[in-house]
Amino acid sequence: MKPAVVGWTAATGLAAVGLIAAACAPKQELGDPLNGLSREELARFAAGREEFEKVFIPGTGLGPLFNANSCAECHEDPLALGTGDEVEVHVAAFDPATRACDPLVDRGGPVIQQVATPALKAALGIDGEPIPVAATARAGRTTPDIFGFGLLDAVPDAAIEALADPDDRNGDGVSGRPNHFFDGRLGRFGRKALVPTLREFNAGAFVIEQGITNPEAPTEESIGGSPIPEGVDPVAEPEITAEAVSLANDFVRFSAAPAPRPLRQVECQQCHVPALKTGENPVKALRNRTVYAYTDLLLHDMGPELADICLGEASPSEFRTEPLMGLRLATSFLHDGRAKTLEEAIRLHGGEASSSRMRFEALSAKERESLLQFLRSL
Amino acid sequence: MSRRERAAHRATIGLAACLAAAALAATLAGTASDVELKQTIGTVTAVDPDGRRISVITGCGHALRVMVFHAGTACRIEVGGVAAPLTSLSRGQIVAVRYRTGVEPFAAESIAAPPAANAEGER
């Protein structure tokens, strides 16, 4: 039996057991906390929502450059932790000859802030951060829903590494590989899978998205690499406490994943692996749980048509397999929202995903609609 | 190393990376009057043998930062556990830097790198 088939069979079995267990668990609505949280964890989830929804103004630390004034400004649809219509701009410089990737940190990258506070605008006359001249590519980044991302955080590195097949030894044309952060740890969060943990992602996001410094990410973003002018950022660093970051993180971490739907075999499971299992975890509700995420959290080459920026070890055309849990909430598709329908998104899959795209195109109209209906149910 | 230990290790390194960035910020802001000994792990982005400086990219999530260190002659540099010159370090290599805060660029006390197999490439 081919390894991919063994993997699918195992995943199906695991998923079936998990779905039976899920069916026996209390019914959860979108936005609910995980089942099995302690009273204290539930209290932190509730308090964390307030931090997540807190609206900042310049007088409380917003900016001087930012993309949003609250976590929930972007993650808002249909409720906090959901999707949003904002499209961010990320940049990098990639040298094809050496394959060296420069995220242009000393010139304002990789995340460009598109809004300036009134004080910064008055000082410099800019509406947002300029795009670095050295950028070889710019990327659009939509806001994904993040329900259940604590479960992705709790998947052991070894489980992700076990799915990697960088040299395509099983000959299926798919060769996923992990990205790594700059200190060598395995990455999993972000469209390029650079960030190792949910907490780091969130602590960093306070700064790069809102200009809110905190003890773990205490430096304001530069303005295209230049320092912030005197007097435009009146709040001393750090602008929020570590506890505020922890609470916001717990709101994300303790959120339940969108309810799983019955699994079916699709032609995409080599990358969109239906189920992952969490490992040991101090939080019982996150320990040894199955998450129907439909991702392997690995990088795959999606072909030149979708290529944009590099990041860490990810080349311009490599992207992390997007989790499909919560797909029913999406109103645009792919990393930059260029696809307005699911079918269009599938038809734009290239590179390693070309064979899956061709299998989709070979389906009858009825079969295609059946698959699309299934995907819309996730 | 058990799964639990690996998870704890992953979280510890993440916290260390973030706290290293915190030290950088405190110094840049001029609020750190006391010199502290810190450590960060990151990827080399540049080596200046003449100025005895090394630049390392690290950060917290997507809030990435480049830290510049002065590797004076007293700085211990090891590659794969063996003493090595500054010129043995190169772009793309992961290094652990122990340094003193307070004076910019930070003074590196030691720089340790694994064997140079991971230098250059897609970083």
> Nearest-CA distance from B10 to chain A in Å?
7
> What is residue A329's DSSP assignment?
G
pTM of the complete model beyond 0.80 = yes
pLDDT of B34 reads 74
> What is residue A168's DSSP assignment?
-
pLDDT of B121 reads 45
What six digits make up the tokens of A209? Answer: 């998205």
A66 at interface of B, judged by CB pairs closer than 8 A: no
A108 at interface of B, judged by CB pairs closer than 8 A: no
| Alpha carbons A223 and A214: distance in angstroms, whole number | 19
Above 70 in pLDDT, residue B92?
yes
| Alpha carbons A299 and A285: distance in angstroms, whole number | 28
Above 80 in pLDDT, residue B118?
no
Cβ burial of A364 (10 Å; 0-12, 13-18, 19+) is exposed
CB pair distance less than 8 Å for A221 and B42: no
- Give the one of A106, A156, A208 whose C-beta lies nearest to B62's C-beta: A208
CB pair distance less than 8 Å for B62 and A195: yes
Above 50 in pLDDT, residue B32?
no
pLDDT of A266 reads 64
pLDDT of A10 reads 46
CB A357 within 8 Å of CB A347: yes
| Alpha carbons B102 and A220: distance in angstroms, whole number | 19
| Residue pLDDT, tens place only, B1-15 | 555 555 555 555 655
Above 70 in pLDDT, residue B30?
no
**pLDDT per residue as tens, chain A (378 positions):** 334 433 444 444 544 544 455 555 667 899 999 999 999 999 999 999 999 999 999 999 999 999 999 999 999 999 999 999 999 999 999 999 999 999 999 999 999 999 999 999 999 999 999 999 999 999 999 999 999 999 999 999 999 999 999 999 999 899 999 999 999 999 999 999 999 999 999 999 999 999 999 999 999 999 999 999 999 999 999 999 999 999 999 999 999 999 876 566 667 899 999 999 999 999 999 999 999 999 999 999 999 999 999 999 999 999 999 999 999 999 999 999 999 999 999 999 999 999 999 999 999 999 999 999 999 999
A252 at interface of B, judged by CB pairs closer than 8 A: no
Maximum distance among all Cα pairs of chain A, rounded to whole angstroms: 67
Q: What type of residue is B97? A: V
Least confident span in A163-167, A263-267, B52-56, B72-76: A263-267
> Nearest-CA distance from B72 to chain A in Å?
23
| Alpha carbons A166 and A177: distance in angstroms, whole number | 5
Give the residue from A94, A112, A181 with the most B CB atoms within 10 Å of its CB, the best one to mutate: A181
Query: Is A207 strand, coil or helix?
Result: helix
A106 at interface of B, judged by CB pairs closer than 8 A: yes
A69-80 burial string, b = 16+ CB within 10 Å, else e? bbbbbbbbbebb
